[in-house]
Structure 1
Amino acid sequence: MLNTRPSSDVRGQEAERDVSYSSTTPPKMEVRGLFKTFQVQGKPLMVLQNISFQLRAREFVCLVGASGCGKSTLLNIVAGLDSPTAGQVLVDGEVVAGPGSDRGMVFQGYTLYPWLTVSENIAFGLKLRRMSRAEQRERVNYYLDVVGLTQFAKAYPKQLSGGMKQRVAIARALANEPEVLLMDEPFGALDAQTKEQMQQFLLRLWNQTHTTILMITHDVEEAIFLSQQVYVMSRCPGQLKLEVPIALPAQRELETKLAPEFVEIKRQVLHALREDD
């Protein structure tokens, strides 16, 4: 479980963190030899083929690929919402056999409960875990502050913008303090300006909360801007065809997307994606 919380104003502190690892550092999450086959009109259709990769603690990794390459299927398997045909997913060395509190999930669509307030949405999972009211209140208030929505605690989803709704969804996932946060194109439904604002927000949040994040997206710039490592997936059957370390400063602004290093990484990723066309 995550047990490191900033002791001061988390929104005002963006300290870089050391995310270097030795070869003996165990992975926080590991995907081993993953295959997935569906039956389509009585015939097998392989959508994932021999997927293997690792996430270290506090690492932010993005999977990028074209629509239909199996990204969401892979994330659903990691989340325990689907089962692989072969292979394993492990979190802290334990095999994933279904959904669990060690993994939080943020979806592309707005998944808030419309009849609950912002605070009640964030507390939803905590109630299911039968956490005391005092601890619920403390944790909800903490994550309201983290995502900058304290003044909207009693608002309902219909009163929020799209970006604010996704902040609540992220806060709800983080409130359960998962070992790994899974994100399925969380900003895909937002307009371009709001999307860039949310990218900056998520990057600050990652620097503040020490959260291990696995995110899928079809947006190459988004993947490079947010992550430390980008994996490029091929078209169906989805395979990992390229691993790209992102050697950019931890503190990134939108202008980072114009830097020569960023443009060169983008060229590499786009070239790998276009090889499938």
Structure 2
Amino acid sequence: MGVKKVLYNIRIVFALVKYNFKNLTNYRKDFLIGLFMVIINMAISLSYIEILYNNITNIANWSKYEIMLIYAIASLNMSIYSILYGNYRNLKRYIFNGELEMMLTKPLDIVLHLRMREVSIQPLVNIIVYITLFFFCLKELNKSITFIILLKMVGLSILGVLFIASIALTSLSVLFYTRYTYTPYDSIMTTLDLTNYPINIFPEVVKNMVMTVFPIVLIGYLPANTILLKDNVVINNIVIIIILIYYFISKLIFKTSIKRYDGLGN
């Protein structure tokens, strides 16, 4: 019975993705506009790094292109998060326009439906740009990637994306306790800016936190350090268990919280 449900969910997901991408083709100009905007945003961020390194020689012994590599990996992983889980942030809109009520009537897991209801083209554009920046940084650093290093980097990134998805879903569950008005989602996502820097610049207590109970270093710093081997940092295997706990607990919290929903949509 469990296998049938999984296969059913997979078919539904493919149907939703196909439908969403069909809609996206009606807005081809969005691709070019999105590409232009992400290049502008990246240029601003890289300009900040350039200005910074015009006044200092390194940050915690990390050079300009090494910091850019962290930025590229973190941005790439956040783009992947946006594709797979970014639609979580539309929950508040679904509540107020009545779409959540319709979603709850469908024979599909509500968390899965929330994830796949809409697909944005913007993260796809971001991925193209940040992969280009990633290989540019490797070229400037004269670094190559072996299959083992790539495997480790992908593994760390997957864990990081799962962690961000977990805290995002948990933070949005707060909506059902604040009469659909407040969620700490944006405040929590702001902390992800820390992923763009090496952890050695932070106090010891912060370093320990972002390596264990709030492991955002999995998004940018740790994958980059796996390639560069700059810092002697080893991730504790307990973090894997912590993230899996976060992931399953977040779903449980959301499904428990949504029971408080009283259908106040239009």
Q: Same fold (TM over 0.5)?
A: no
TM-score category, normalised to shorter length: under 0.3
TM-score by structure 1 length? 0.25
TM-score by structure 2 length? 0.26
Q: Which has the higher helix share?
A: 2
